[in-house]
């Protein structure tokens, strides 16, 4: 049954929570599926369409089954899944390891195996599994192993997206639970502060992420511009430059790329960010090697450089200015394994400008606007 492509590199898709939260229904899912195809998002790699919390009735049915809310989903979930599949997309749903979901709907605690089979019967390809309303005597490793085992034995390939917000040192045990991705932080908000705090909090966690088990830094806020039905998330929005930096960080740090904005009304700038193939290629690199901080003349939380080795021998380099003033960032090639004596330099390709910048030796320095970044793909070349 197992398809080795599932979860190998960071999953990409769209999730309903950031913008719509409880305001979800079949029409939204159908029109979003249409847009994922027509706008080129599917072609760029976004294949999962995921319905988050608030899709069911408040109580299970008489046989203990989860019941889709008939007002939101009048044709049931199989019909939604069929439509999503007919567009060439994969279908994701949501449940919780506790007795209730975070919004108070039935959770899968002690219903794990029957729920997994129900999801499989609807044609679900992805399950996000939250962390609310847990009985106090059971720890997360036990609860996530349970659902993982249930999914692995439900008769369908279902990607397991664990969402315990980084608690109980999740990075130590999540890979062996069987999950393909794991949320490592609390919920993102649509602001520069929330996004940049999440990124900084995960710098030292990078080595725990890799093929088949990816550090999920939460759904993207790219393109939300302060628009959400959820007041916790709608806290002002970011500029397009900040969204570009956000996307660059999530890509370079190997996070799953799950879009959170209303793509049906996204701007051209949003689309350009989300479909940047050069940046996506860095995220989807087959080896999923973690980036490291380049120790270039100190590493500060305002100005820093990340380097990620890619499968073909290239480097992905990200240079970030989290400060409030334009500033010069620089790194020496000796700090990423290329001493001048090697006779090698780097040929720079700018992944946002989509152009080659030529070959440099020993060092690269560049001025970066506040909250902006540079993402390069660098080829190691002989210079003498």
Active site residue 324: no
Strand (E) or helix (H) holding 112: helix 112-122
Q: Residue 173 is encoded by which pair of tokens?
A: 């045990």
Which residues does residue 292 pair with via DSSP β-bridges, in sequence order?
A: 307
**Could you give the count of Cα atoms lying within 13 Å of 230 in the half-sphere of its Cβ?**
22
- Torsion, Cα 371 253 45 194, to 10 degrees, reads -50
Which residue is it, tokens 């090698």?
344
Angstrom distance (rounded) from CA 149 to CA 128 = 15
Q: Which is nearer to ligand GLA, 84 or 102 (CB)?
A: 102
Smallest distance, ligand GLA to C-beta of residue 163, A? 5
Smallest distance, ligand GLA to C-beta of residue 80, A? 18
Q: Which is nearer to ligand GLA, 92 or 123 (CB)?
A: 92
Smallest distance, ligand GLA to C-beta of residue 164, A? 9
Smallest distance, ligand GLA to C-beta of residue 108, A? 14
Q: Which is nearer to ligand GLA, 66 or 378 (CB)?
A: 66
Category of 247 on φ-ψ map: left (φ > 0), alpha (ψ -120 to 50) or beta: alpha
Q: Which is nearer to ligand GLA, 102 or 279 (CB)?
A: 102
Measured over the CA atoms of residue 95, residue 101, residue 105 and residue 109, the dihedral's sign is positive
Angstrom distance (rounded) from CA 347 to CA 219 = 33
Q: Which residue of the set 34, 69, 82, 187 is catalytic?
A: 187
Active site residue 240: no
Q: Which residue of the set 130, 218, 285, 372 is catalytic?
A: 130
Write out the residues near ligand GLA by the rule CB under 6 A.
Answer: 17, 52-53, 101-103, 130, 163, 165, 187
Which residues does residue 182 pair with via DSSP β-bridges, in sequence order?
A: 162, 215
CB-neighbour burial class of residue 383 (10 A; exposed 0-12, middle 13-18, buried 19+) = middle
Smallest distance, ligand GLA to C-beta of residue 130, A? 5
Q: Which is nearer to ligand GLA, 98 or 332 (CB)?
A: 98
Positions annotated as catalytic residues are 130, 187
């Amino acid at each position: 049954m197992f398809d080795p492509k599932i979860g190998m590199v960071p999953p990409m898709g769209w999730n309903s929570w950031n913008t719509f939260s409880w305001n979800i229904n079949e029409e939204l899912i159908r029109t979003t599926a249409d847009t994922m195809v027509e706008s080129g998002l599917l072609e760029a790699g976004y294949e999962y369409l995921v319905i988050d919390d608030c899709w069911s009735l408040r109580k299970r049915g008489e046989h203990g089954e989860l019941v889709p809310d008939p007002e939101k989903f009048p044709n049931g979930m199989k019909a939604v899944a069929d439509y999503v599949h007919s567009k060439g997309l994969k279908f994701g749903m949501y449940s919780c390891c506790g007795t209730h979901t975070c919004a108070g709907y039935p959770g899968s605690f002690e219903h794990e195996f029957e729920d997994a089979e129900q999801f499989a019967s609807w044609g679900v390809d992805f399950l996000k599994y939250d962390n609310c309303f847990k009985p106090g005597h059971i720890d997360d490793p036990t609860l996530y192993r349970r659902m993982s085992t249930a999914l692995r034995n439900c008769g369908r390939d279902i990607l397991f997206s664990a969402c315990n917000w980084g608690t109980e040192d999740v990075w130590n045990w999540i890979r062996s639970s069987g999950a393909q991705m794991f949320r490592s932080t609390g919920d993102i908000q649509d602001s520069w502060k929330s996004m940049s705090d999440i990124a900084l909090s995960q710098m030292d966690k990078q080595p725990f992420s890799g093929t088949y088990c990816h550090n999920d830094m939460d759904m993207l806020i790219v393109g939300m511009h302060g628009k959400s039905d959820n007041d916790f998330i709608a806290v002002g929005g970011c500029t397009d430059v900040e969204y570009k930096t956000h996307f660059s960080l999530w890509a370079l740090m190997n996070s799953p790329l799950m879009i959170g904005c209303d793509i049906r009304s996204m701007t051209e700038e949003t689309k350009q960010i989300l479909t940047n193939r050069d940046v996506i290629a860095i995220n989807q690199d087959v080896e999923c090697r973690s980036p490291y901080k380049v120790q270039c003349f100190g590493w500060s939380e305002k100005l820093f450089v990340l380097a990620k080795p890619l499968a073909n021998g290239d480097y992905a380099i990200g240079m970030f200015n989290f400060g409030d003033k334009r500033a010069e960032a620089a790194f020496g090639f000796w700090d990423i394994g290329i001493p001048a004596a090697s006779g090698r330099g780097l040929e720079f390709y700018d992944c946002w400008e989509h152009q080659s910048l030529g070959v440099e030796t020993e060092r690269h320095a560049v001025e970066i606007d506040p909250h902006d970044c540079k993402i390069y793909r660098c080829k190691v070349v002989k210079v003498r």
